[in-house]
Amino acid sequence: MKLSRCVAFIVAVCLACVVSAQQRNKAYEDYIKKYRGIAVEEMKHYRIPASITLAQGLLESGAGKSTLARKSNNHFGIKCGGSWDGPTVRHDDDARNECFRAYRHAEESYRDHSKFLRSRARYASLFRLKITDYKGWARGLKKAGYATDPNYANRLINIIELYELYRYDEKGGLKYAEQFPDPHQPYLANDLLYIIARKGDTFKSIGEEFDLSHRKVRKYNDLPKDYIFRGGEIVYLEQKRRRATKEHIVYVVRAGDSMYSISQKFGVRLDRLYKLNKMKPDSPAPNVGDILRLR
C-alpha cells in the first residue's frame, strides 16, 4: 500500500502530540506564508533546513514585528561582527547599544543568515546532518552559541512541530503547502491514520491531498460512490483493521450509534464488525445498551 505522504503525516501526528495543547498564532502563520518560499530557496543553495530558517526568523524577529525586523529588516538578530562593512543599527540586547546588521530588504537578511552559518567554522558540523534533522540542527545551533537562551533549541523545535515547518524540508513540500494551504489535521485511531472531513470535501480532493486514489478513500471508509461529505465524518486513509485494539474488547451501544459509526470510531472494517457479532448487513440495527464485540 503506497502511503508516501500519509506516512510523513503519521510522523507529524506523533510530533504534534507534544504541542497539541498549544494554539497557533495567526501572525506566525502569516509570516510563514510570506517567507517560506525564500527559506526553501536558501535551503536549495546553502543546505540549511527551511524549517530551521523559518523557526529562527519567527523567534528572532517576533514574526517580523520586532524593532530590528521592522526598521532594519534584520530577521535573525545577527550582530555586526568584525567582518561586516554594510549598514548598521544600534539596539539593546545582551548589552546596551549593541551593533546589529541592517538590510535593505528581508531577502537580504535571509541570504546573510545563510552565509553567516555557512562561513563560520563552529557551525560546520551541522552541514553533515540530514536536511530533515531539524532537531539536530536546533540543538547544534544552541551548542555552537547562536543564542544565549538556554531553551533556544527547544523553542525552535516547538515552533517547527506546532507549525509543521518540517514539511518544507521535504522534496515538494513547498508545492504541497501552496496547493493545500489549509491541510486537514491527521489523527490516529487503532494505529490508523484518519482525518475529519469538512463540508465540500470529495473523495478526489482528499485523495489528492494525501496521495491516494479516490477509489481507495471510498473503499477504506465503506462509502458509496455518490456519498457527499457533510463535514465531521471520520475518514480513514488506510484500510481499517479486522479488530479493534486490545484496550477495546467490547462496546456498549449508545443513542445515535450505528454499525457503521462504530466501525469508523474504532477503525474496524464494517464486514468484520458484523462477523464478530454474528450479524449480517441486513440485520436489525443494535439497540441502546447492546454489547458488541470489537475483537
| Alpha-carbon gap, residue 12 to 111, rounded angstroms | 29
In the 8-state DSSP scheme, what is residue 122? G
- 69 with 100: CB under 8 angstroms? no
Beta-bridge mates of residue 101: 88
What is the DSSP pairing of strand 98-101 with strand 88-91? antiparallel
201 close to 228: Cβ distance less than 8 angstroms: no
Strand-pair partners of 91: 98
Side chain identity at residue 24, one-letter code: R
Q: Where are the domains of the chain?
A: 1-14+180-239, 25-75+105-162, 250-293
- Supply the CATH classification number for the domain 250-293: 3.10.350.10
Q: How far apart are CA 74 and CA 84, in angstroms?
A: 14
**Residue 250 forms beta bridges with which residues?**
293
25-75+105-162 and 250-293, same CATH topology: no
For residues 113 and 111, what is the distance between their CA atoms, to the nearest angstrom?
A: 5
Check: CB of residue 75 under 8 Å from CB of residue 64: yes
The class level of CATH for 1-14+180-239 reads alpha beta
CA distance 141 to 122: 9
Cα separation of 117 and 127, whole Å?
A: 9
Which backbone phi and psi does 252 adopt, to 5 degrees?
A: -95, 120
The tens place of each residue's pLDDT in the chain, 295 residues long, gives 444 455 454 445 444 444 444 578 899 999 999 999 999 999 999 999 999 999 999 999 999 999 999 999 999 999 998 788 899 999 887 788 899 999 999 999 999 999 999 989 999 999 999 999 999 999 999 999 999 899 999 999 999 999 999 999 988 888 877 888 787 877 877 778 899 999 999 999 999 888 889 999 999 999 999 999 999 999 999 999 999 989 999 999 999 999 999 999 999 999 999 999 999 999 999 999 999 999 9
Q: What is the architecture, at CATH level 2, of domain 25-75+105-162?
A: Orthogonal Bundle (1.10)
pTM as predicted: 0.61
d(CA 132, CA 48): 10
Can you give the pLDDT at residue 22?
Answer: 56
Decide: 48 and 42 in contact? Cβ < 8 Å: yes
CB 25 within 8 Å of CB 140: no
* Residues sharing a CB contact under 8 Å with residue 25, sequence separation 6 or more, in sequence order: 63
Answer whether 68's CB lies under 8 Å from 87's CB: no
The whole-number pLDDT of residue 19 equals 42
